[in-house]
Amino acid sequence: MKKVVSSPLAPAPIGPYSQGIRSGNMVFLSGQIAIDPKSGDLLMDDIEIETHRVMKNIEALLKSEGLGFQHIVKSSIFLSDMGLFLEMNKVYGSYFNELPPARETVAVAGLPKGVNVEISVIAIAT
């Protein structure tokens, strides 16, 4: 059985997909980019601002299921350029107090709306 995960505090999908899906105790969140859910604007002033917005979007979706960053077991990070890794990683790491999740970070040829970072996560409700 699966249930759609959604929150008005995260950007609405820009295609035929859900913000997330919950199946049992597993929550799969679609890739988040730096769209401000209130204004619909992309926040791309720099990679740190962009990464914070992505993480806030993830947080809103996790909270809609009663979860937090401590429940994330796997992250996938997509960057437009590995030269952005250090700044992105500093911001990303600030959201995990202990036991950070498994993850991969890859550079890709392009991301939706020309953003520099997209992050998807898998969380487990305990």
Residue 14: the pLDDT is 84
pLDDT in tens, 67-120: 999 999 999 999 999 999 999 999 999 999 889 999 999 999 999 999 999 999
H/E element holding 105? Answer: strand 102-107
CB contact at 8 A, 47 and 105: no
Position 126 scores a pLDDT of: 82
Residue 107: strand pairing partners:
79
CATH of the domain at 31: 3.30.1330.40
Helices (H), the chain: 47-64, 85-93
Confidence of residue 39 (pLDDT cuts 50, 70, 90): very high
The pLDDT, as a whole number, for residue 32 is 98
Instruction: Please write the tens of the pLDDT for every residue from 16-32.
Output: 999 999 999 999 999 99
Please give the residue range of the domain that contains residue 25.
3-124
* CA dist., res. 73 & res. 122, Å (int): 6
Number of domains in the chain: 1
Predicted local confidence at residue 92, as pLDDT: 98
Indicate whether 47 pLDDT > 90.
yes
- Between CA 103 and CA 74 the distance in angstroms is 5
